[in-house]
Amino acid sequence: MTQLPDSNYKAPDGPQKYIGKAVKRVEDPRFITGQGHYTDDINVHGQLHAAMLRSPYAHAKIGQIDASAALALKGVHAVLTGQDLADAKVGSIPTGWLLPDLKIPPHPAIAHGEVHYVGDIVAVVIAESRALAEDAVALIEVDLEPLDAVSLGSQALAQGAAEVHPEAPGNVAFNWEIGDAAAADELFKQADHVVSLKIRNHRLVPNAIEPRASLAQYQRSSEEFTLHTTSQNPHIHRLMLAAFVLGIPEHKLRVISPDVGGGFGSKIFQYPEEVIVLFAAKKLNRPVKWAARRSESFVSDMQGRDHESEAQLALSKDGKMLALKVDTIANMGAYLTTFAPAVPTYLYGTLLNGVYKFGAVHAKVTGVFTNTVPVDAYRGAGRPEATYLVERIVSKAASELGMDAAEIRRKNFIQPEDFPYQTPVALVYDSGNYEPALDKALGMLGYQDLLKEQAEGRKNGRYIGIGFSTYVEACGLAPSALVGQLGAQAGQWESAVVRVMPTGKIEVLTGSHSHGQGHETTFAQIAAEEFGIPMEDVVIVHGDTGKMPFGWGTYGSRSAAVGGSALKMALGRIKDKATKIAAHLLEAAPEDIEVADGQFKVKGVPEGGKSFFDVALMAHLAHNLPEGMEPGLEAQYMYDPKNFVYPFGTHIAVVELDADTGHVKMIKYVCVDDCGPLINPLVVEGQVHGGIAQGFGQAILEETVYDEEGNMLTGSFMEYSMPRAEDLPMFEIDHTVTPSPHNPLGVKGIGESGTIASTAAVANAVNDALRAFGHHHVDMPFTPEKVWRAMKGGVQDLGQAADD
């Protein structure tokens, strides 16, 4: 492969020793033996426990709080209320992404004056044991005067709807638009066919299996705080807690996220409980810990999705897509949290172009406050919503026009020679080649045979559906200057420190964070590859602001593309310096030195090289270094990418409907993803598997339901359906490889692709099966009763009732 134009990616010249190999994960031994070290596993001397009194009402005025009975229990140290935080001038939990005219109501860690959703914290008990803290919570008397509440985005915009915050009249948080409306209108006039779609992308609960937990310690002598917390990005937590909320000098706060049991976005954000334990630890001069119960997680972890959209697609009569118009109401919940405003805008609106050549795309998004748990990034964050909409309307178009769902896509693909491709909605796609992925997937599926089987089945009352999702996604947000212009209160670069020790062992510090993605393996593969040294000689350190100077963490599939690239660049610096030292020791010119299998050698001279250990030792002894060279062998690199990366691929789901009951069984799932070169195929495929399951979960099983008064009716695993092993088939996975020209590894993210693609694929499959009953569109989630009713017929475009 040749170097791509305008590229800092260089394909490897020869076979690689570690990169591209399915290396077993180095972190696994501790997990499989029960030695994983999660936040709630940590207990420290003198530790107290916090328990939260949460609002049972979606909206209420807080009256008198009588904590006397709770405080009278032996072992209860304090009961904290919103007033305590206000008196101490604790700041509001900040929003990290600002849009023009954004309304940001105050978000105190403990509600003050009013509660705004079921689960909002009203008071906190700090006690000797968790059991005692929970006993005491039950004794607090609070007068809550229920106020009118609203839970659905479109209802919050209706005339006379309950007002969530006085700061946001009409419950509008923001109005946002992208694309050329006039150009789109012009193309709609020329259209032969217009497809309309009304959908709800329903709300989900992330449900990482590890509930959130936080443990705060305060050292009075040094005024230093340590916070162990379940975080995907400890530096962001430190920054926000220090600069905006608690006013702790940043260098006096150390945030550690040890092993983290899954995140899927839900552990990005700054949460009230972290503020509370830090505040209480200083106030009581004792360590304070809080760990969520699952029933708390359901009403306190930020939730995902929740869009109501209307879209129109303009097509010519031969199936060429001309333009797309989208109008979306995004339910933000009760407060704007860390990334919330970016999710339905820059991560959603900008991806509405999909993989197609549109003349114009226009999107309008209204962000709305409701009395529900706040909504923020959840695996895919905006991109699954965009992909569901685009891929659903394209399949609906095929259905209405009587075209093959694969062929209508192929006909409209952006072509390989079009890259870099400027879409009508701001993004510039880096590289892509969409047809080979589609063809490969069709081949794996045996598409033509399956179509015959489907047709045959329909005659006999067997309803098979085939659903496509030819997706593209934009991940590894970048560059910092651009995201800053768009409203981010954060940079989007990543850092790596490579510290070579005198014995040649390498410590890699990264600002990325693994909560299941396997950084300790893949990052070690990158580092070991650079010098050909054993992987065991590399250790990856992450998740501790006390060790790593700075970093922006892991979300938006950025670890490999941005964090991995930072590592690659830092390794380059080490290699440069080490090469110079080796050249000096070997009395050769640096250009003549090559490194392989941990040996520095003069090119063409097989004997007498210097080992990596020799060079590392000399770097530290500094007995014989090139003139003027600084001793030591350590490098840091802050890598700010030039662009997002754009993974793509084809996912195909095959489902079968139970004609008697409406139960949907997924019988086959095939996908071909292109995330550039694979660092570790085992890890990549694992990410895809999990992503598919989550997208399938949304399409078929998962649904967060609120009643009109803002009560969540699906607040436990008894009601909220999580995908189980029995719900899924084995997945058939393959890849194409189109490197990104924008980063030195050529890699694109893969953490979210599965979810971004699969929801649409599964939904399209169910709809394909329901075509036999005269439907062009039935909205997800495809609960058995809904599918049964659709099969009974008589309902066209069966949408989701407001609160069904």
Partner 1 sequence: MSLVPVTININGTPTPAQVEPRMLLVQFLRDELELTGTHVGCDTSQCGACTVSLNGEAVKSCTLFAVQADGMDVQTIEGIGSMDDLHPIQAAFWEQHGLQCGFCTPGMIMASAEIIRRNPDPSEEEIREQLGGNFCRCTGYHNIVKAISSAAAVMREKGAEAGQAADD
Partner 2 sequence: MSPHTFQGSNIVAAPRARVWAMLQDPAVLARIVPGLTDAIQDGENQMRAVLNVNVGPVKGRFKTIVRVLEAQPPAQMDLEVEGKTITGTALLHTQMTFTDLGESTRVDWVASPRLSGLLAGVGGKLIESKARDGSAGQRYADRFFGRLSQEA
Partner 3 sequence: MYTTPFDYHRAVNLDDALKMLADNPDAKLLAGGHSLIPTMKLRLASPSALIDISALDELRGIRTDGDMLILGAGVTHAELLYDKTVAEYAPLMPDMARWVGDPMVRNRGTVGGVVAHADPAADYPAGLLTLGASFKLKSAGGERVVGVDDYFKGMFETALQEGEIVTEIHIPRQAGKGAYEKFRHPASHYAIVGVAALASPEGVKVAMTGAGPKAVRLTQVEQAIGSDLSDENIKSATENAVDAGSLLSDRFASAEYRAHLAGVLAKRALMRVK
Which residues are at the interface with partner 2 (CB under 8 A)? 54-58, 118-119, 134, 137-138, 295, 298-299, 707, 709, 711-716, 718-719
Contacted entry of partner 2, partner 3, partner 1, none for residue 55, CB cut-off 5 to 8 Å set by kind:
partner 2
Segment near partner 1 (CB under 8 A), from 89-97, 188-196, 609-617, 721-729?
721-729
Number of residues binding to partner 1, judged by CB under 8 A: 58
- Report the side by side order of strands in the sheet with 538-541: 538-541, 506-510, 494-500, 634-639
Residue of 12, 29, 626, 774 interacting with partner 1 (CB under 8 A): 29
491: β partners: none
Contact (CB, 8 A) for 288 and 228: no
Segment near partner 3 (CB under 8 A), from 127-135, 169-177, 404-412, 670-678?
127-135
Taking each helix axis from N to C terminus, what angle separates 434-445 and 447-459, rounded to the nearest 10 degrees?
50
Contact (CB, 8 A) for 743 and 641: yes
135 near partner 3 (CB under 8 A) = yes
Cβ proximity to partner 1, 687 vs 711, nearer residue: 687
720 near partner 3 (CB under 8 A) = yes
Residue 652 has, within 13 A of its CA and on its CB side, a CA count of 27
685 near partner 1 (CB under 8 A) = yes
x-or-dash string of contact with partner 3, 71-110, rule CB under 8 A: ----------------------------------------
Relative to beta strand 463-472, strand 648-657 is antiparallel
Residue of 251, 293, 452, 547 interacting with partner 3 (CB under 8 A): 293
717 near partner 1 (CB under 8 A) = yes
Contact (CB, 8 A) for 176 and 97: no
The single-letter DSSP state of residue 529 is H
Q: Sign (positive/negative) of CA torsion 731, 734, 738, 743?
A: positive
Residue of 17, 103, 112, 130 interacting with partner 3 (CB under 8 A): 130
Kindly identify the residues of this chain, within the stretch 773-792, that bind partner 1 according to CB under 8 A. none
Contacted entry of partner 3, partner 2, partner 1, none for residue 516, CB cut-off 5 to 8 Å set by kind:
partner 1
Q: How many angstroms separate the first and last alpha carbons of the chain? A: 53
Residue of 719, 793, 796, 802 interacting with partner 3 (CB under 8 A): 719
Residue of 32, 209, 718, 730 interacting with partner 3 (CB under 8 A): 718
Contacted entry of partner 2, partner 3, partner 1, none for residue 61, CB cut-off 5 to 8 Å set by kind:
none
801 near partner 1 (CB under 8 A) = no
Query: C-alpha 352: how far from its chain's center?
Result: 18
Q: Sign (positive/negative) of CA torsion 139, 140, 141, 143?
A: negative
Say how far apart CA 467 and CA 695 lie, in whole Å.
Answer: 13
Q: Which residues contact 734 (CB under 8 A, 6 or more apart)?
A: 440, 441, 444, 671, 672
DSSP per-residue codes, 208-220: -SSPPEEEEEEET
Least distance in angstroms from the C-beta of 580 to partner 1 = 39
x-or-dash string of contact with partner 3, 687-716, rule CB under 8 A: --------------x---x-------xx--
Q: Sign (positive/negative) of CA torsion 788, 789, 795, 797?
A: negative
Residue with the two structure tokens 């062009």: 776
74 near partner 1 (CB under 8 A) = no
x-or-dash string of contact with partner 3, 728-757, rule CB under 8 A: ------------------------------
Could you check whether the bond before residue 677 is cis, i.e. omega within 30 degrees of 0?
no
Cβ proximity to partner 2, 715 vs 754, nearer residue: 715
x-or-dash string of contact with partner 3, 592-621, rule CB under 8 A: ------------------------------
Cβ proximity to partner 3, 28 vs 707, nearer residue: 707
Give strand ranges (E) for 57-204.
Answer: 60-66, 76-81, 114-115, 121-127, 141-146, 172-179, 193-204
Contacted entry of partner 2, partner 3, partner 1, none for residue 788, CB cut-off 5 to 8 Å set by kind:
partner 3
366: β partners: 175, 329
Residue of 131, 589, 596, 622 interacting with partner 3 (CB under 8 A): 131
Residue of 91, 94, 304, 518 interacting with partner 1 (CB under 8 A): 518
Contacted entry of partner 3, partner 1, partner 2, none for residue 660, CB cut-off 5 to 8 Å set by kind:
partner 3
Say how far apart CA 650 and CA 746 lie, in whole Å.
Answer: 20
Q: What's the Cα-to-Cα distance from 136 to each of 69, 78, 126, 739, rounded to whole Å? A: 8, 10, 9, 58
693 near partner 1 (CB under 8 A) = yes
Contacted entry of partner 2, partner 1, partner 3, none for residue 569, CB cut-off 5 to 8 Å set by kind:
none
**Of 531, 526, 541, 523, whose CA–CA distance to 504 is shortest?**
531
Residue of 19, 184, 375, 683 interacting with partner 1 (CB under 8 A): 683
Contact (CB, 8 A) for 727 and 700: yes
Least distance in angstroms from the C-beta of 674 to partner 1 = 19
Segment near partner 1 (CB under 8 A), from 386-394, 499-507, 678-686, 787-795?
678-686
47 near partner 3 (CB under 8 A) = no
Cβ proximity to partner 1, 43 vs 460, nearer residue: 43
Cβ proximity to partner 1, 698 vs 740, nearer residue: 698
Please give the helix or strand (H or E) that residue 298 lies within, else none.
helix 294-300
554 near partner 3 (CB under 8 A) = no
Q: Which residues contact 465 (CB under 8 A, 6 or more apart)?
A: 454, 654, 655, 656, 657, 764, 765, 766, 767, 768, 769, 770, 771
Least distance in angstroms from the C-beta of 277 to partner 2 = 21
Residue of 221, 660, 730, 794 interacting with partner 3 (CB under 8 A): 660
784 near partner 3 (CB under 8 A) = yes
Say how far apart CA 590 and CA 298 lie, in whole Å.
Answer: 59
Cβ proximity to partner 3, 181 vs 701, nearer residue: 701
Dihedral over alpha carbons 596, 599, 604, 608 (to 10 degrees): -170
**Contact residues for partner 1 (CB under 8 A)?**
24-25, 27-38, 40-41, 43, 131, 207-211, 259-262, 264, 293-295, 515-518, 682-683, 685-687, 689-694, 716-718, 722-726, 728, 730-731, 754
Which residues make up the interface to partner 3 (CB under 8 A)? 130-131, 134-135, 138, 293, 295, 660-661, 663, 701, 705, 713-714, 717-722, 727, 783-785, 788-789, 804
